Structure 1
């Protein structure tokens, strides 16, 4: 009998110790906070910048009012250009284009071969765009806006042709409407390749002076195509 009581006592003591250990372990689990992994947030930045080679291709046109049958030609140029875009939403953006270009105006028609003059152009252009986002890495867009062009460092041709010499030449600053279309092909979330085409309707007034002091006036029909391609960087 003594052996039975001894055995029961040992069993009760072991059960008590096990209960205390289990309670302590449960308390430890309850006391320790449980951390869950939080997915990383991909922050959206609305800024984009592009660096492009830009071909400026004016239409040959215009006239000198005092010379019937006259026309004017303007040289093409390829220049570097930079633009900065701000996205209000993934689809709607505004783009500011900056660059300078130099052009040479010569006579045509009744004034064929006449050296009218040269001028530098600063043509900042602001467009508002809609970007299509349903084509994956290929992101086409369309846009419309306005250009304002300043002409500076202007010079006359000072070269005689058929007895006519232009000794003073001045193009007047002008505004112009712009249409645009293009696309970005994104290589990754930051880098891409861009192709962009713009059409401007730009027809600045022009005035000059001949060697004999006669004042002449006219209009240069530039109406250029701006065709560019280059690198896109999305912040």
Structure 2
């Protein structure tokens, strides 16, 4: 599950940002391990903003899961990324939903600067889709897989736990560690997951095989925090 259409420089910036998020999730010390770096001026600043937009709401995941207020610089960069990269005309549903998730994160963490309606995008594109495509799309939108998040995508996932479990197994067999980690993160939230899946062992295996990729590690770490209730 690669980030299609992104340059090597941007891919590297996204991985660096994901590494910062993982560090913050591990330590629980937001002041010591800020996830979102302050954006510089010029090309470097643009790259930082683009990286935040690619990672989406997960750029502030430590604040969401650990209930630690984001640093002012983090929040400012995140807000600027939301404002700078709105979905274009004809944007795909995952892009629209990713942007919506970022705006909702801003509403929760910075309500004084929230603006515009909070109306959800539609989920018709998920209705009746194959379990393979469903898993792929959910993995792309894994930033929506957070405790207490009630939205159309989460409800669609909740209606098909067995299909998501099948998708998780398929991703592991195909060695698509990013998709497997994203699906595993969703599965930690869903009721009705077959106990025979062995999700805990599956997450261990995904981390072992793909954990050197910070985008995989981020999803596995989020799944574990959700599973153990460490976010409470």
TM over 0.5: no
Q: Work out which of the two has the higher radius of gyration on C-alpha atoms and give 1 or 2.
A: 1
TM-score normalized with structure 1 length: 0.18
Of Structure 1 and Structure 2, which has the larger fraction of its residues in helix?
A: 2
TM-score normalized with structure 2 length: 0.18
Of Structure 1 and Structure 2, which has the larger fraction of its residues in strand?
A: 1
